[in-house]
Amino acid sequence: MVSIREEIRNVAIIAHVDHGKTTLLDGMLKQSGIFRQNEKVEERVMDSNELERERGITILSKNTAIKYKGVKINIVDTPGHADFGGEVERVLKMADGVLLLVDAYEGPMPQTRFVLSKALELNLKPVVVINKIDRPDARPDEVIDEVLDLFIELGADDEQIEFPVVYASAREGIAKLKLEDTSSDLRPLFDTILKEIPAPKGELNGPLQLIVTTLDYDDYIGRIAIGKVIRGHIKAGETAAICKRDGTVQNVRISSLYQYEGLKRVQVNEALLGDIVAVSGISDIEIGETIADIENPEPLDFVHIEEPTISMTFGVNTSPFAGEDGKYITSRHIRDRLMKELETNVALKVEETETTEAFKVSGRGELHLSILIETMRREGYELQVSKPTVIMKEINGVKNEPIELLTIDVPEDFMGIVMEKLGSRKAELMDMHTLKPGTLRLKFKIPTRGLIGYRSEFLTDTKGNGIMTSILYGYEPYKGEIPIRLKGSLVAFESGITTTYGLYNAESRGRLFVGPGTKVYEGMVVGENARNEDIDVNVCKKKHVTNMRSATSDEALRLSTVSELSLEEALEFIENDELVEVTPKNVRIRKKILNSQQRYKSAKNR
């Protein structure tokens, strides 16, 4: 018999990056009264991870719950970056409906298309929230038409196309059903959720089925499996069965259950159909497995996670400075850490290589992998990583490569340089229209290879005024060679400490990455050559002291600003014969072969 639990709603907030999901959730939490009147609440309270706070992006999906008019609304905040699409795909399994947030100026962007297509595939009820209506350049009516076009393009059915619309300003904490309405809070949004998002329904008294969509870890209680009860009920202290991914069934005891209230996990004795719960006491449970009734263990289908498109080699740091900063430096340390990451990062793939010192790590994009590297270095790991390479596929005997759908918003003045650079990277222009006077939106299809190393170049070319976002479009036959980096490297000629005198001489050759007083070693890349060849430079050279004096000899040598590269910039910069050395305190670029003579011999043989 089918039961409907009217006292619960499960909703996921989905959107393109930076359209205001986490800010809206802040407002919903504050207005639902889960914080005390005098409690100090941080901005973007759901972005609890240190990297999320620094970068202003959501990386991991999170659960929370609020009460409104006697109904418990479970909310899942999801990432907006395409690189963390693996997070979005699986957590949508917990929701019965979605709030699709769209910026009132930018309109639907590549990631809006991606998250909406996943929600429609799972037949979730959408509520469209047009956010940032307080922007001076907001164009809400046009954006609604664009959203409707996107629904039609993605093959939404008649019921899904009749989506309700709420206008909001997450920053101001207001929502309204019509633009001309006056509103001082988010109540219209809460009311729409209760009215439009379906309540969970299913067999309340049937045999238990709970799908695990997220894993968490607590130092006191160990691994925690988070998921939604799809059928029946689950009790603490009872025995249940786990339907493993490999088809086997394992009996376990449920030690404790938790539900979400605001930002806290609260212990409960029992959870029913439609509840989102955290289960502890199962040490080896994995994402995608089903906790089922012991008498009737039926597994649920798990969502298909799209395959990785980019891979890199993670290896033991072999530079002369290895072990100076890091706590974890051996291949065993790196292997254990990568295997631990696989437990929760479902879009990641780790493979052994011919050597025990290195591992092939594949992910959804440069950002996906660079966040993992950044997290590892903050935890005390030292490693060296190779240039990102795309993963090719053979389809019907033809070599295919991943293609991205690239959207660029750029002032008209910079259109020429953008078109020229993307043309050489094998991009095809698909659409171009004016967003507002003086600003264009360009849409391209471009090989993923063509985007590697382009982001920082794009920011320089557009003087920081351009916005670019991309998402996997599909696979197409290989497009041919793409000349990516047209400049060579300035390579340290010897080990030592850099001097102003040595750097001053090297600077005439190009752009420097290190300043005076920096420890360097032979084979370390200290700058970018203005020409397209590598050149050895002596940046540790000291000025010879003579007893001759001239009028200008003691004038201070002045260096231009040094371009210290971030981890992402270093990954974008390197060539195939280079590596990025990553330690808790430093990011360095080095040649794979450090000795200059051996390097020249190797190049000659090639």
pLDDT tens digits, 315-356: 999 999 988 888 988 999 999 999 888 877 777 889 998 888
The answer to whether the CB of 85 falls within 8 A of the CB of 56 is: no
pLDDT band at 79 (very low <50, low <70, confident <90, very high): low
Task: State the average pLDDT over residues 102-130.
Answer: 85
* Total number of residues shown for the chain: 606
Supply the pLDDT for residue 336: 92
Identify whether 234 is part of a domain.
yes
**C-alpha–C-alpha distance, residues 156 and 116, integer Å:** 10
Please say whether the dihedral angle defined by the alpha carbons of residues 573, 579, 582 and 585, taken in this order, is positive or negative: negative
> Does the pLDDT value for residue 35 go beyond 60?
no
The answer to whether the CB of 242 falls within 8 A of the CB of 249 is: yes
Which residues, listed in sequence order, are joined to residue 315 by a DSSP beta bridge?
A: 358, 384
**Nearest-10 Cα torsion for 444, 447, 452, 458:** -20
Q: Which of 26-40, 200-214, 443-457 has the lowest mean pLDDT?
A: 26-40
Identify whether 482 is part of a domain.
no
Identify whether 329 is part of a domain.
yes
**C-alpha–C-alpha distance, residues 1 and 202, integer Å:** 8
Shared-domain flag, residues 177 and 28: yes
Interacting residues of 492 by C-beta distance below 8 A, sequence separation 6+: 520, 521, 522, 523, 524, 525, 526, 536, 537, 538, 539, 540
Supply the pLDDT for residue 522: 92
Shared-domain flag, residues 49 and 183: yes
Return the higher-pLDDT residue of 142 and 32.
Answer: 142
Task: State the average pLDDT over residues 97-122.
Answer: 84
Shared-domain flag, residues 352 and 276: no
**C-alpha–C-alpha distance, residues 484 and 571, integer Å:** 13
Shared-domain flag, residues 381 and 457: no
CATH number at residue 442: 3.30.70.240
Tokens of 517: 């007083």
Tokens of 4: 């409907």
Three-state DSSP string of 125-177: EEEEEEECCCCCCCCHHHHHHHHHHHHHHCCCCHHHHCCCEEEEECCCCEEEC
| DSSP single-letter state for residue 488 | -
Q: What share of the chain is helix, strand, coil (3-state, %, to 5)?
A: 25, 35, 40
Identify whether 223 is part of a domain.
yes
Supply the pLDDT for residue 470: 80
Cα 459 versus chain centre, distance: 19
**C-alpha–C-alpha distance, residues 512 and 508, integer Å:** 10
The SS3 call for residue 366 is helix
Binding-site residue numbers for GTP are: 18-23, 131-134
Identify whether 299 is part of a domain.
no
Query: Range of 580's domain?
Result: 489-546+553-605
Q: Is 247 exposed, middle or buried (0-12, 13-18, 19+ CB in 10 A)?
A: exposed
Shared-domain flag, residues 288 and 431: no
Number of domains in the chain: 5
pLDDT band at 403 (very low <50, low <70, confident <90, very high): very high
Q: Which of 10-24, 81-95, 434-448 has the lowest mean pLDDT?
A: 81-95
Shared-domain flag, residues 366 and 403: no
Supply the pLDDT for residue 37: 42
The answer to whether the CB of 440 falls within 8 A of the CB of 409 is: yes
Supply the pLDDT for residue 361: 93
The SS3 call for residue 269 is coil
Shared-domain flag, residues 380 and 443: no
Tokens of 463: 């003087």
Listed residue (484, 355, 493, 356) closest to 422, CA to CA: 484
Tokens of 308: 């990785």
CATH number at residue 595: 2.40.50.250
**Nearest-10 Cα torsion for 471, 472, 476, 479:** 50
The answer to whether the CB of 541 falls within 8 A of the CB of 499 is: yes
Shared-domain flag, residues 102 and 14: yes
The SS3 call for residue 420 is helix
Shared-domain flag, residues 139 and 92: yes
Q: Is 210 exposed, middle or buried (0-12, 13-18, 19+ CB in 10 A)?
A: buried
Q: Mark which of 428, 455, 477 sits at the end of a domain.
A: 477
- Number of Cβ within 10 Å of residue 185's Cβ equals 14
Binding-site residue numbers are: 18-23, 131-134
> Does the pLDDT value for residue 238 go beyond 80?
yes
Supply the pLDDT for residue 219: 67
**C-alpha–C-alpha distance, residues 95 and 124, integer Å:** 7
Supply the pLDDT for residue 556: 64
Q: Tens digit of pLDDT for each residue in 504-548?
A: 888 888 889 998 889 999 999 999 988 888 899 998 888 766 555
**C-alpha–C-alpha distance, residues 499 and 557, integer Å:** 11
Amino acid identity at 531: R
Supply the pLDDT for residue 392: 92
> Does the pLDDT value for residue 54 go beyond 50?
no
**C-alpha–C-alpha distance, residues 287 and 211, integer Å:** 8
The answer to whether the CB of 49 falls within 8 A of the CB of 60 is: yes
Supply the pLDDT for residue 573: 87
**C-alpha–C-alpha distance, residues 402 and 399, integer Å:** 10
CATH number at residue 271: 2.40.30.10
The SS3 call for residue 81 is coil
> Does the pLDDT value for residue 410 go beyond 80?
yes
**C-alpha–C-alpha distance, residues 113 and 15, integer Å:** 9
Supply the pLDDT for residue 304: 64
Task: State the average pLDDT over residues 398-425.
Answer: 89
> Does the pLDDT value for residue 402 go beyond 60?
yes
Listed residue (356, 348, 361, 362) closest to 330, CA to CA: 356
The backbone torsions φ and ψ at residue 360, rounded to the nearest 5 degrees and listed phi first, read: -90, 120
Task: State the average pLDDT over residues 111-132.
Answer: 86
Interacting residues of 466 by C-beta distance below 8 A, sequence separation 6+: 408, 409, 410, 411, 414, 418, 458, 459
* Angle, helices 21-31/187-196, rounded to nearest 10 degrees: 100
Q: Mark which of 390, 405, 424 sits at the end of a domain.
A: 390
Identify whether 164 is part of a domain.
yes
Amino acid identity at 41: V
CATH number at residue 150: 3.40.50.300
Shared-domain flag, residues 22 and 41: yes
Helix ranges (DSSP H) in 32-139? 50-55, 85-91, 110-121
Task: State the average pLDDT over residues 169-182.
Answer: 86
| DSSP single-letter state for residue 304 | P
Task: State the average pLDDT over residues 579-595.
Answer: 92
Supply the pLDDT for residue 254: 85
Across 214-228, 284-298, 460-474, 517-531, the highest mean pLDDT is recorded for: 517-531
pLDDT band at 50 (very low <50, low <70, confident <90, very high): low
Supply the pLDDT for residue 605: 79
Tokens of 179: 């633009």
Tokens of 33: 């009264």
Supply the pLDDT for residue 33: 61
Which residues, listed in sequence order, are joined to residue 251 by a DSSP beta bridge?
A: 241
Shared-domain flag, residues 70 and 157: yes
Identify whether 305 is part of a domain.
no
pLDDT band at 554 (very low <50, low <70, confident <90, very high): very low
Q: Mark which of 144, 172, 199 sits at the end of a domain.
A: 199
Shared-domain flag, residues 36 and 162: yes
Identify whether 251 is part of a domain.
yes
Mean pLDDT, the chain, whole residue set: 82
> Does the pLDDT value for residue 58 go beyond 50?
no
